[in-house]
């Protein structure tokens, strides 16, 4: 009798989860896209934002726009039943427009800490209708992250790292406190060389020299946009820093560095190996 009741309850629960599971999903950040995929719902993703490029098959999925500007019409055209968006990605008016057509919109805040990564995974899983799978994935991620942090503790170099965001020489910014880059640098065992300010601020030669980083860290596309290491070393002030003198210009996959979700352990390990 007990087994029969238990079986019936499990069947009913399965139907409830299935009924609540999103079938057509739009994800509006790389971290959201990767997490939905890791939860096993990649086939339900019908469109993504321009920052979503991983896993590789995501590049074949339509983009909701050519830039970061998102419109109600663009989203509605894909007939989604769920839109996942990071905090501050879409306006309140756009959110209202989408919800008024019957589309579920879930805004998920991302906290750039190991604990925050686990919360993020659980929130995405809840949104797609499978919290049990989210708990399983969160625990798997936690184990990997803890292992990566142990490796960091065994490699206590603590270099001063300056993150430089570039889109050619016309757009260059450095990351201060309260940024994902500050968080990943510290989590991987480094120190942010940019002090005294939050968020991002324009790059200047004077600030670079004063910061005197041991390592200059860049996204791979930013590194290429400046012409690679030889061109970067010729930029004003670079050779006056420890990073320039030792040619420690590090490039990494931008999506991996800012993920703070299912690939956090990989990001920590790879970045720490560059010290």
**pLDDT digits over 67-110, tens only?**
778 999 999 999 999 999 999 899 999 999 999 999 999 999 99
Select the CATH number that applies to the domain covering 2-147 from these four: 3.90.1150.10, 3.40.50.720, 3.40.50.1980, 3.40.710.10: 3.40.50.1980
Eight-state DSSP code of residue 189: T
Eight-state DSSP code of residue 188: T
Measured CA angle at 39 (ends 115, 53), to 5 deg: 90
Angstrom distance (rounded) from CA 246 to CA 139:
40
- Looking only at the bridges linking them, the beta strands covering 215-219 and 200-202 are unpaired
Under 8 Å CB-to-CB from 110, ≥6 apart: which residues? 29, 31, 86, 87, 116, 120, 180, 260, 261
Angstrom distance (rounded) from CA 27 to CA 63:
10
- % pLDDT > 70, the chain: 93
Q: What is the pLDDT of residue 22?
A: 86
Angstrom distance (rounded) from CA 176 to CA 35:
27
For the 160-273 domain, the top CATH level (class) is alpha beta
Residue 4 above 60 pLDDT?
A: no
With beta carbons less than 8 A apart as the criterion, state whether 238 and 160 touch. Answer: no
What are the residue ranges of CATH 3.40.50.1980 in the chain? 2-147, 160-273
Cα first-last separation, the chain: 61
| Res. 182 pLDDT band, cuts 50 70 90 | very high
Residue 5 above 50 pLDDT?
A: no
Residue 16 above 90 pLDDT?
A: no
Q: How many CB atoms lie within 10 A of CB 14?
A: 10
SS3 275: coil
Compute CA distances 180 → 68, 162, 176, 261, whole Å. Answer: 19, 13, 9, 12
Question: What's the per-residue H, E or C state across 96-136?
Answer: HHHHHCCCEEEEECCCCCHHHHHHHHHHHHHHHCCHHHHHH
Angstrom distance (rounded) from CA 111 to CA 93:
24
Q: What is the pLDDT of residue 8?
A: 41
| Res. 20 pLDDT band, cuts 50 70 90 | low
With beta carbons less than 8 A apart as the criterion, state whether 44 and 22 touch. Answer: yes
With beta carbons less than 8 A apart as the criterion, state whether 275 and 243 touch. Answer: no
With beta carbons less than 8 A apart as the criterion, state whether 152 and 188 touch. Answer: yes
With beta carbons less than 8 A apart as the criterion, state whether 159 and 275 touch. Answer: yes
Rounded to the nearest integer, the mean pLDDT of the chain is 92
């Amino acid at each position: 009798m007990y087994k029969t009741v238990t079986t019936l309850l499990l069947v009913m629960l399965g139907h409830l989860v299935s009924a609540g599971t999103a079938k057509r999903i739009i994800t509006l950040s790389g971290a959201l896209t990767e997490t939905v995929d890791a939860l096993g719902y990649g086939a339900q993703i019908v469109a993504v934002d321009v920052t979503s490029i991983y896993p590789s098959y995501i590049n074949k999925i339509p983009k909701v726009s050519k830039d970061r500007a998102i419109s109600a019409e663009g989203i509605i055209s894909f007939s989604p039943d769920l839109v996942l968006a990071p905090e501050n990605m879409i306006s309140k008016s756009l959110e209202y427009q989408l919800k008024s057509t019957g589309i579920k919109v879930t805004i998920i805040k991302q906290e750039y800490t190991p604990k925050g990564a686990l919360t993020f995974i659980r929130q995405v899983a809840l949104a797609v209708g499978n919290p049990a799978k989210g708990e399983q994935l969160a625990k798997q991620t936690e184990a990997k992250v803890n292992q990566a942090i142990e490796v960091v503790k065994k490699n206590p170099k603590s270099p001063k790292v300056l993150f430089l965001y570039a889109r050619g020489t016309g757009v260059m910014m450095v990351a201060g406190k309260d940024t994902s880059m500050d968080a990943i640098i510290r989590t991987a065992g480094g120190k942010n060389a940019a002090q005294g300010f939050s968020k991002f601020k324009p790059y200047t030669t004077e600030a670079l020299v004063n910061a005197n980083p041991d390592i200059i860290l860049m996204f791979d596309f930013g590194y290429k946009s400046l012409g690679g290491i030889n061109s970067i070393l010729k930029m004003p002030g670079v050779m006056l820093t420890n990073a320039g003198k030792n040619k420690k210009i590090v490039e990494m996959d931008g999506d991996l560095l800012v993920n703070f979700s299912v690939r956090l352990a990989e990001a920590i390990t790879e970045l720490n190996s560059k010290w």
